[in-house]
Amino acid sequence: MKFIDEVKIYAKSGDGGRGCLSFRREKFVPLGGPDGGDGGRGGDVHLEVDMALTTLLDLRYKHHLKAKNGVPGLGKNKHGKGGDDLTIKVPPGTLVYDDETGELLADLTKSDQGFLLLKGGQGGRGNARFLTSTNRAPRHTQPGIPGEERTLRLQLKLLADVGLVGLPNAGKSTLISCVSAARPKIADYPFTTLVPNLGVVRHGDFRSFVIADIPGLIEGASDGQGLGTRFLRHIERTDLFLHLVDLSCLQTGNPVENFDKINRELQCYNQALSERPMLVVFTKQDITEVREQTDEYRTLFEDRGFQTLAISAVTREGLPELVTTIASELDRMRQGDTIK
């Protein structure tokens, strides 16, 4: 499924139905009087979270959305039927902005969470409503009130417990494919991953957590380099970072300096991200030269206060320990404790 994380839509609630102009006409009942019914109310427009959705793809190709209009009133004091409401399903993590003003209208994160976006127009009154002692045959009715309309910008920020960060080809996609059912594209060239990938990692008997692979993090990403800020926002909702460090010859530059560059980009994008808990994970331990350097760099990072782990996605070395450590750290965080 194509990943779409931002769309613009036009939404309109239903118009109210017009009131009816009618007079009672029955045999043996002269001057029966007015009996025009009221028009029906226009349908509302609602937004609702659907946990089964992970993208805004459905709204990419259907971006003009209208609720049903109210039915006009009828004679014999019959009121028109109200228009059906329109419910727009969105994935969890959707931000709703007014496109003209930029105002944030809603932040939809919880299962079945709803938001009344636009109210339908009130139905007009029929001529029976205008009967008075001095106006026995009113010929006045009201048109229905038009529905509200708005142009909206929907922006998706993925909800995940753990976010994978690191330079391209550090092994993020390989890791998520090994610990979950996610199947991202994997290749030996930079920027293989062009969209975020989510995976559900099972641990224990009935427990799980969600891990997200965020692509495009290089020096200058917060200023638009690489994939730029297009996907940085998806990391804002994660509770814990796994910073993958590649010690192989595939990465140029000093690993510690590369680590600091990525962290600076996170800080430049959002200062709060620099305070987010982080684990350092050394990847590709199946390569001899990497394994020989790991102890040296492990000491460097631990001296700076980071907890470190070493894994190999090829041999699956360290993966069970990694999953267990992530689960325990998430439990500690949710109980009020934190790690660096």
Assign residue 223 the CATH number of its domain: 3.40.50.300
* pLDDT value of position 221: 45
Residue ranges, the chain, pLDDT below 50: 1, 187-192, 221-226, 338-340
> Looking at this protein, which amino acid is placed at residue 103?
E
Q: For residue 123, is it within any domain?
A: yes
- The tally of domains found in the chain comes to 2
> Looking at this protein, which amino acid is placed at residue 108?
L
Q: Where a domain ends, among 122, 156, 190?
A: 156
Q: In what order do the strands lie in the sheet with 104-108?
A: 64-66, 6-12, 149-156, 94-98, 104-108
Domain match, 149 and 37 both: yes
* pLDDT value of position 172: 83
Domain match, 193 and 245 both: yes
Q: Which of 88, 94, 98, 89 is nearest to 109 (CA)?
A: 94
Q: For residue 339, is it within any domain?
A: no
Domain match, 118 and 190 both: no
CA–CA distance, 55 with 63 (Å, rounded to integer): 14
Domain match, 42 and 173 both: no
φ, ψ at 58 (rounded to 5°): -60, -30
Q: Is 176 exposed, middle or buried (0-12, 13-18, 19+ CB in 10 A)?
A: buried
DSSP for residue 34: B
Q: For residue 294, is it within any domain?
A: yes
CA–CA distance, 23 with 76 (Å, rounded to integer): 8
pLDDT tens digits, 28-60: 777 788 999 999 999 999 999 998 887 888 898
Domain match, 102 and 119 both: yes
DSSP, residue by residue, 171-217: SHHHHHHHHSS------SSTT---S-EEEEEEETTTEEEEEEE----
Q: Would you state the structure tokens that stand for residue 300, as one six-digit string? A: 């460097």
Give the CA radius of gyration of the chain. Answer: 29
Q: Where a domain ends, among 91, 126, 156?
A: 156
Find where tokens 């799980």 sit. Answer: 208
Q: Is 240 exposed, middle or buried (0-12, 13-18, 19+ CB in 10 A)?
A: buried
Domain match, 199 and 323 both: yes
Domain match, 71 and 26 both: yes
Q: How many CA atoms lie within 13 A of 180 on its CB side?
A: 21
Q: Where a domain ends, among 133, 156, 179?
A: 156
CA–CA distance, 62 with 88 (Å, rounded to integer): 11
Domain match, 2 and 138 both: yes
Dihedral angle sign, alpha carbons of residues 94, 100, 103, 106: negative
Domain match, 125 and 170 both: no
Domain match, 99 and 150 both: yes
CA–CA distance, 52 with 66 (Å, rounded to integer): 23
CA–CA distance, 179 with 211 (Å, rounded to integer): 9
Question: In sequence order, which ranges of 161-272 are alpha helices (DSSP H)?
Answer: 172-179, 255-269
Assign residue 39 the CATH number of its domain: 2.70.210.12
Q: What is the pairing mode between strands 197-203 and 207-213?
A: antiparallel
Range of the domain at 89: 1-156
DSSP for residue 204: T
Q: For residue 340, is it within any domain?
A: no
Identify whether the C-beta of residue 18 lies closer than 8 Å to the C-beta of residue 37: no
Dihedral angle sign, alpha carbons of residues 316, 320, 323, 329: negative
Identify whether the C-beta of residue 311 lies closer than 8 Å to the C-beta of residue 318: yes
DSSP for residue 142: -
Domain match, 39 and 172 both: no
* pLDDT value of position 340: 44
Q: Which of 104, 109, 4 is nearest to 49 (CA)?
A: 109
Question: In sequence order, which ranges of the chain are alpha helices (DSSP H)?
Answer: 57-60, 172-179, 255-269, 288-303, 319-334
Domain match, 61 and 176 both: no
